């Protein structure tokens, strides 16, 4: 069985490594100091289990998981993060609170072994959904652009557009795709900055230069970039509310 | 509550005023043809009784201050007291000076003017007393308010301090846990450092002032612990002007700023994070700047600083009642936090 450790603190990695020695069937493939390395290592080694810290440079452990097509089983290691812990508990995912001892570590491994033997899939997706509503995570959107990882500060987003199972995130550099729903973004993004102007569109109100009537009952918002975003009847009501018109 | 007369200066003024009043009345009565000794008796009796009534009014107001519409009661009270005064005085004067020829007529004629003067005087005393007691009450209210504010301020400062600790503490313990197995000597050293650091946090009060070099030692402990945690990723340079190290700073103010810089630097960039600290003296102020690297492409420092700096801004405001002491700037890929610490301790 292959294992990868992802934690930005060297000593935090070394303690996991030490505890792993008791489990000779688990082979440590790589240690990573941040989420970028983590994504690469996971793609390269296809591990069965990863140990993942949450607070890390550039992207959090959660954001890293969002970038993976098929995330491996995860045991989270964290020191203190009320919000994450709530998310873990809600989705019955095992996590290790730092500092932890060998006994606790073995228990987590045991639990993972039992679950993988029963082919139980952990509900990583729901967990990520819950975790991404944390206030610290709505300042930016992390996307994968080919093999590159792109971090988009939310204020750089012009507007969002639904596209099948994805959401197109339009920015000055073109658009990026994220495997999420419009409802997700409507919940996680700042409600004073982004308004659902249409069933399939969310617009950054800082970018709006004009709102024109368009056909019957509908409007269209003109953005600084020149883009036109459809505004439905209900969307128009919401926009007027936020803009204070 | 004290009355105006419990202040020595006011008591003297009050006595002098009353003596003048008596002298004045004596002279007026003499001018109207009374003999000196008779005029003196008349003035003495009427003013003595007026004095008693004034003291009564003053003492009553001490326990009962009129509010709003109740002023009409005060007016009626004055009127009533003056009438009583007039009756008593008239009776006493008639008894003691009734034998003097022509006195009864003079008394009868002067009743209205005596009444007016007494009413005016009592009215004045009442007004002055009300003003005095009102002001007293206001001062006491203000004092209470200041006390209450001080209490909330201390509670708030305490809370601000508490919020910064748990993440650091648990991660440090985790590092120690890792060192125990591989490098027990270093683990011991770190336990010592962590204990000293925590003791420093507990020992100091938020409102206490310490010398900058003392605070730097405390900061060094913090930096040493963080360096163990983050290994080669964290590097620091510190440059302190000689005259700066003797200056005073509010205890525990700098550590959260450095903590914020480290967090921001470490979590916003990949690779080595250099934290640079510089302290110099500008006029009478101690100016400390702390810089950390950041990624201008992905963070907007305004939002990226988050909780850390907001709480420091608040603390500075609570300490100095100023909002301009903490400033931030960006230069290339460096985020610079600057704190200005006035040396005049206005709010200790």
Which residues of chain A neighbour B270 with C-beta distances below 8 Å?
33-34, 36, 57-58
Q: How far apart are CA A9 and CA B172, in angstroms?
A: 10
**Lookup result for tokens 């105006």:** B4
A178 touches A162 (CB < 8 A):
no
Nearest to A140 among B170, B229, B298 (CB): B298
Tokens of residue A162, six digits = 């639904």
Q: Does the CB of B163 have a partner CB in chain A at under 8 Å? A: no
* Per-residue pLDDT band at B346 (split at 50, 70, 90): very low
Nearest CA in chain B to A60: B267
Give the whole-number percent of chain B exceeding pLDDT 70: 91
pLDDT tens string B294-332 = 888 776 655 444 556 877 887 788 778 888 899 988 888
pLDDT tens string A15-43 = 999 999 999 999 999 999 999 999 999 99
Tokens of residue B85, six digits = 């005064």
Q: Does the CB of B270 have a partner CB in chain A at under 8 Å? A: yes
pLDDT tens string A204-233 = 999 999 998 888 788 999 999 999 999 999
Q: Contacts by B331-335 with C-beta closer than 8 Å and gap 24+?
A: B331/B291, B333/B269, B333/B293, B333/B294, B333/B295, B333/B296, B334/B291, B334/B292, B334/B293, B334/B294, B335/B261, B335/B264, B335/B265, B335/B291, B335/B292, B335/B293, B335/B294, B335/B301, B335/B304, B335/B305
Max alpha carbon distance in chain A (Å)? Answer: 70
Q: B interface mutation test: which of A9, A11, A152 has the most B CBs within 10 A?
A: A11
Vertex A81: Cα angle to A80 and A85 (nearest 5): 110
Nearest to A12 among B178, B269, B298 (CB): B178
Q: How far apart are CA B174 and CA A7, in angstroms?
A: 12
Which residues of chain A neighbour B269 with C-beta distances below 8 Å?
57-58
Tokens of residue A147, six digits = 């093999």
Q: What does the domain layout of chain B look like in residue ranges?
A: 4-150, 163-342
pLDDT of res. B304 = 45
Q: How far apart are CA B210 and CA B248, in angstroms?
A: 5
Q: Going by C-beta distance under 8 Å and a sequence separation of 6 or more, which residues neighbour residue B252?
A: B161, B200, B201, B204, B206, B215, B218
User: Which residues share a beta bridge with A53?
Assistant: A77
Q: Does the CB of A59 have a partner CB in chain B at under 8 Å? A: no
Give the whole-number percent of chain B exceeding pLDDT 90: 28
pLDDT of res. B264 = 87
The CATH class, in words, for A152-243 is mainly beta
Nearest to A151 among B166, B181, B298 (CB): B298
Q: Does the CB of A56 have a partner CB in chain B at under 8 Å? A: yes
Tokens of residue B202, six digits = 């507990």
The CATH class, in words, for B163-342 is alpha beta
pLDDT of res. B347 = 43
Strand order in the sheet with B273-282: B234-240, B273-282, B285-293, B334-342, B326-331
**Lookup result for tokens 């949450």:** A54
Q: What does the domain layout of chain A look like in residue ranges?
A: 2-131, 152-243
pLDDT of res. A160 = 94
Q: Does the CB of A206 have a partner CB in chain B at under 8 Å? A: no
Tokens of residue B56, six digits = 């009564």
Which range among A120-134, A190-204, B195-209 shows the weakest confidence by mean pLDDT? A120-134
Nearest chain B CA: its distance from A19 CA (Å): 10
* Annotation: CATH topology of A2-131: Rossmann fold (3.40.50)
Which residues of chain B neighbour A98 with C-beta distances below 8 Å?
170-171, 173-174, 177
Could you give the ipTM of this predicted complex?
Answer: 0.79
Q: Does the CB of A44 have a partner CB in chain B at under 8 Å? A: no
Q: A interface mutation test: which of B172, B173, B177, B307 has the most A CBs within 10 A?
A: B177
pLDDT tens string A62-80 = 889 888 888 888 899 998 7
* Per-residue pLDDT band at B162 (split at 50, 70, 90): low
Q: Contacts by B199-208 with C-beta closer than 8 Å and gap 24+?
A: B200/B252, B201/B161, B201/B165, B201/B252, B204/B251, B204/B252, B205/B251, B206/B154, B206/B157, B206/B158, B206/B161, B206/B250, B206/B251, B206/B252, B206/B315, B207/B154, B207/B157, B207/B250, B207/B319, B207/B348, B208/B250, B208/B251
């Amino acid at each position: 069985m292959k294992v990868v450790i992802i934690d930005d603190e060297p000593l935090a990695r070394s303690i996991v490594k030490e505890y792993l020695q008791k489990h000779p069937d688990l082979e440590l493939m790589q240690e990573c100091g941040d989420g970028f390395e983590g994504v690469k290592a996971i793609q390269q080694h296809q591990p069965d289990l990863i140990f993942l810290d949450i607070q890390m440079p550039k992207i959090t452990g959660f954001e890293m998981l969002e970038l993976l097509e098929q995330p491996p089983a995860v045991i989270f290691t964290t020191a203190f993060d009320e919000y994450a812990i709530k998310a873990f508990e809600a989705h019955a995912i095992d996590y290790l609170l730092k500092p932890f001892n060998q006994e606790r570590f073995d228990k987590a491994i045991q639990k993972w072994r039992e679950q993988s033997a029963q082919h139980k899939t952990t509900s990583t997706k729901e967990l990520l959904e819950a975790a991404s509503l944390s206030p610290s995570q709505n300042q930016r959107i992390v996307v994968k652009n080919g093999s590159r990882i792109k971090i988009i500060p939310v204020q750089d987003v012009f507007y969002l557009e639904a596209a099948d199972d994805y959401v197109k995130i339009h920015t000055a550099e073109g658009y990026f795709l994220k495997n999420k729903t419009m409802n997700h973004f409507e919940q996680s993004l700042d409600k004073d900055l982004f308004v659902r102007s249409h069933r399939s569109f969310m617009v950054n109100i800082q970018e709006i230069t004009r709102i024109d009537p368009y056909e019957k009952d509908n409007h269209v918002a003109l953005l600084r970039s020149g883009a036109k975003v459809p505004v439905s009847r209900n969307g128009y009501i919401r926009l007027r509310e936020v803009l204070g018109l | 509550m004290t009355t105006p007369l419990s202040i020595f200066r006011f008591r003297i003024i009050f006595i002098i005023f009353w003596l003048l009043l008596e002298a004045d009345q004596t002279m007026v009565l003499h001018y109207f043809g009374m003999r000196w000794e008779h005029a003196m008796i008349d003035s003495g009796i009427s003013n003595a009784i007026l004095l008693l009534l004034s003291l009564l009014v003053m003492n009553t107001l001490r326990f009962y201050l009129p509010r709003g519409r109740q002023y009409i009661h005060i007016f009626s009270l004055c009127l009533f007291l003056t009438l009583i005064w007039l009756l008593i005085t008239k009776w006493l004067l008639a008894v003691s000076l009734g034998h003097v020829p022509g006195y009864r007529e003079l008394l009868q004629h002067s009743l209205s003017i005596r009444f007016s003067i007494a009413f005016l005087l009592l009215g004045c005393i009442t007004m002055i007393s009300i003003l005095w007691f009102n002001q007293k009450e206001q001062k006491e209210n203000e004092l209470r308010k200041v006390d209450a504010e001080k209490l909330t301020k201390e509670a708030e400062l305490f809370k601000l301090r508490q919020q910064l600790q748990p993440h650091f503490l648990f991660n440090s313990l985790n590092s120690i846990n890792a060192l125990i197995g591989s490098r027990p000597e270093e683990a011991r050293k770190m336990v010592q450092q962590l204990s000293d650091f925590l003791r420093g946090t507990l020992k100091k009060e938020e409102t206490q002032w310490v010398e900058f070099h003392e605070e730097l030692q405390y900061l060094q402990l913090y930096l040493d612990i963080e360096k163990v945690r983050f290994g080669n990723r964290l590097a620091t340079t510190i440059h302190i002007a000689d005259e700066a190290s003797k200056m005073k700073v509010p205890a525990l103010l700098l550590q959260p700023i450095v903590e914020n810089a480290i967090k921001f630097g470490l979590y916003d960039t990949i690779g080595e994070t250099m934290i640079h600290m510089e302290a110099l003296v500008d006029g009478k102020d101690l100016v400390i700047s702390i810089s950390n690297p950041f990624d201008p492409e992905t963070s907007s420092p305004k939002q990226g600083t988050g909780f850390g700096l907001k709480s420091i801004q608040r603390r500075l405001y609570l300490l100095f009642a100023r909002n301009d002491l903490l400033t931030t700037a960006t230069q290339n890929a460096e985020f610079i936090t600057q704190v200005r610490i006035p040396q005049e301790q206005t709010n200790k």
